[in-house]
């Protein structure tokens, strides 16, 4: 009985086979370049079809419709990552000029000299001195190719002045996830300014105002059936792709949690983009970073949650300077990408009045998250306080419900009380701890608890 190999084992086998392919090609190139018989010394590129890939890798190549040139570009990047010494022979000097073989491109670094293949290197490995092949290879692996569109390769460079052919060729993190049989879940970085948000709570744990809940359920219905409407032979052509909603209301009323719950309920990843941080930290590069988020998300059906949306969608003033014009350009770009996005986009803000009213018509739903009333506060307390802890007898739910706290603030109070209980090594929610924690939350918003 044959046992299935693990994804990691398959990954190692794929890497080993693709490295072997590159090593053999490097040897062939150097043999050709070091010959001293005139025109016969010219390397003419890949002459015959590359050897058959590993079975699981072949499925990947077929699914992404990648041919030999693209496969070789990926193999070169993998070799540079896992066995960079395979390119050491490219450091040899051209005996005719006593200088490096310039046609090989490459980036040479380090005191011990290390050759890192660039896109020029890959083009030469594919095409050699054949001009027609060079033109074709350039189109096959360049910035406009499917290798970049499908986020398989990346240049990892922001230098727009340099020719892309001089960038070191690298595979993306997403590609490694695909090969190892995992769903790619990127982490927050300068290249991807968004963070995945999750919760252990269930959708039933949400405590919302009736009107708010009904509108949230409308979004849930779209997540379940929106694609069916889009695919309808008659009505589908009249509907724009995706769903756009705005959540507004005071902090701690459940806007972020609701977005996270919608994702969990529908088995979709939710990514939060903090626009206020994005704009302030990367002044002049907002557009580029937003592009990175949307390009990554558009084929994965992620829910995109834009926190503090008023930082970029605030009421616009007359254009007075180049900064104003650039800000308007950023807003226009973001609006364009939001309208084109086929999934759910949620804009969140504390105050609806902070958002330019001109944007409202572009939204499918505008949902207010009010502070909880007394009845809801009691329900939140009951669900937040752990059942294995005992509430001090002098504290009543009716009394707690009268105190003006949001769901987030109630969570903070409970958290503090549990820490104090563990410190005493008991399971009592003490009155003095509760009183202190509540006063602290009220003082944050300028109120005093009597």
Are residues 229 and 170 both part of a single domain? no
Domain count, the chain: 3
User: Which range, 36-45, 133-142, 147-156, has the best average confidence (pLDDT)?
Assistant: 133-142
Are residues 356 and 381 both part of a single domain? no
450 vs 361, higher pLDDT: 361
Are residues 149 and 205 both part of a single domain? no
- Do the domain assignments include residue 402? yes
Are residues 364 and 390 both part of a single domain? no
- Do the domain assignments include residue 189? no
Q: Where are the beta strands (DSSP E) in 281-404?
A: 303-307, 344-349, 365-368, 390-391
pLDDT score of 75 more than 80: yes
Radius of gyration, CA atoms only, the chain: 29
- Do the domain assignments include residue 188? no
pLDDT digits (tens, 9 = 90+) for 385-401: 999 999 999 999 999 99
Give the span between the Cα atoms of 176 and 75, in whole angstroms.
12
Which pLDDT belongs to residue 336? 86
Confidence of residue 286 (pLDDT cuts 50, 70, 90): confident
- Do the domain assignments include residue 12? yes
Rounded percentage of the chain residues whose pLDDT exceeds 90: 49
Using the 3D structure, point to which of 314, 349, 368 is the last residue of a domain. 368
- Taking residues 335-352, report their average pLDDT: 89
pLDDT score of 326 more than 80: no
Are residues 105 and 17 both part of a single domain? yes
pLDDT digits (tens, 9 = 90+) for 76-119: 999 999 999 999 999 988 888 888 888 999 988 877 788 999 99
Are residues 335 and 204 both part of a single domain? yes
Using the 3D structure, point to which of 368, 398, 420 is the last residue of a domain. 368
- Do the domain assignments include residue 225? yes
- Do the domain assignments include residue 449? no
pLDDT digits (tens, 9 = 90+) for 177-223: 888 777 778 887 767 788 999 999 888 888 999 999 999 999 999 99
Region at 65 (left for phi over 0; alpha for psi -120 to 50; beta for the rest): left
**Which range has the worst mean pLDDT, 113-127, 146-160, 251-265?**
146-160
Are residues 342 and 437 both part of a single domain? no
Confidence of residue 444 (pLDDT cuts 50, 70, 90): confident
Which pLDDT belongs to residue 321? 47
Are residues 175 and 152 both part of a single domain? yes
Are residues 157 and 12 both part of a single domain? yes
**CATH number of the domain to which 387 belongs:** 1.10.8.60
pLDDT score of 415 more than 70: yes
Using the 3D structure, point to which of 329, 353, 368 is the last residue of a domain. 368
Q: Which residues contact 193 (CB under 8 A, 6 or more apart)?
A: 273, 274, 277, 278, 282, 289, 292, 293
Confidence of residue 2 (pLDDT cuts 50, 70, 90): very low
- Do the domain assignments include residue 2? no
Q: Which domain holds residue 439?
A: 374-444
- Do the domain assignments include residue 346? yes
Q: Which residues contact 202 (CB under 8 A, 6 or more apart)?
A: 261, 264
Are residues 294 and 152 both part of a single domain? no
pLDDT score of 276 more than 90: no
Which pLDDT belongs to residue 6? 66
Residue with tokens 């608890």: 449
Provide long-range contacts, Cβ within 8 A and 24+ apart, for 336-339: 337/290, 337/291, 337/294, 338/242, 338/244, 338/362, 339/240, 339/242, 339/244
Are residues 224 and 151 both part of a single domain? no
Which pLDDT belongs to residue 156? 60
176 vs 264, higher pLDDT: 264
Residue 89: exposure state from Cβ atoms within 10 A (0-12, 13-18, ≥19): middle
Are residues 51 and 147 both part of a single domain? yes
Q: What is the rounded average pLDDT for all residues in the chain? A: 85
């Amino acid at each position: 009985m044959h046992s299935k190999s693990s994804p990691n084992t398959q990954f190692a086998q794929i890497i080993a086979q693709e490295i072997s392919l590159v090593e053999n090609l490097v040897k062939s190139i150097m043999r050709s370049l070091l010959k001293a018989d005139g025109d016969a010394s010219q390397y003419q590129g890949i002459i015959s079809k590359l050897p058959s890939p590993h079975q699981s890798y072949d499925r990947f190549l077929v699914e992404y419709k990648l041919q030999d040139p693209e496969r070789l570009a990926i193999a070169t990047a993998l070799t540079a990552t896992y066995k960079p010494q395979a390119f050491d022979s490219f450091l040899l000097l051209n005996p005719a000029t006593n200088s490096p073989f310039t046609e090989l491109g490459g980036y040479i670094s380090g005191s011990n000299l290390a050759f890192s293949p660039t896109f020029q290197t890959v083009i030469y490995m594919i095409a050699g001195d054949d001009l027609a092949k060079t033109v074709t290879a350039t189109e096959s692996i360049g910035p406009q190719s499917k290798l970049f569109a499908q986020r398989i390769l990346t240049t990892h460079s922001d230098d727009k002045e340099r020719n892309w052919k001089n960038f070191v060729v690298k595979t993306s993190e997403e590609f490694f996830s695909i090969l190892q049989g995992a769903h790619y879940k990127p982490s927050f970085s300068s290249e991807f300014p968004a963070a995945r948000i999750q919760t252990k709570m269930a959708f039933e744990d949400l405590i919302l105002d009736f009107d708010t809940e009904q509108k949230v359920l409308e979004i849930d219905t779209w997540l379940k059936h929106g694609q069916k409407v889009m695919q309808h032979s008659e009505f589908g052509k009249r509907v724009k792709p995706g769903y756009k909603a705005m959540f507004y209301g005071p902090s701690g009323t459940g806007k972020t949690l609701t977005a996270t719950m919608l994702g969990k309920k529908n088995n979709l990843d939710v990514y939060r983009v903090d626009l206020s941080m994005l704009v302030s930290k990367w002044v002049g590069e907002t557009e580029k970073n937003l592009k990175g988020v949307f390009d990554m998300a558009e084929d994965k059906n992620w829910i995109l949650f834009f926190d503090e949306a008023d930082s970029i969608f605030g009421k616009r003033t007359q254009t007075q300077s180049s900064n104003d014009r650039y800000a308007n350009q950023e807003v226009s770009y973001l609006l364009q990408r939001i309208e084109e996005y086929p999934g759910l986009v949620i804009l969140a803000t504390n105050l609806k009045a902070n958002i330019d009213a001109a944007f409202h018509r572009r939204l499918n739903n505008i949902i207010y998250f009010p502070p909880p009333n007394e009845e809801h506060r009691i329900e939140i307390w009951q669900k937040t306080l752990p059942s294995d802890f005992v509430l001090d007898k002098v504290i009543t739910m009716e009394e707690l419900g009268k105190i003006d706290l949001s769901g987030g603030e109630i969570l903070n109070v409970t958290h503090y009380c549990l820490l104090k209980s563990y410190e005493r090594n008991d399971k009592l929610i003490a009155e003095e701890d509760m009183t202190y924690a509540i006063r602290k939350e009220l003082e944050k918003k300028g109120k005093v608890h009597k």
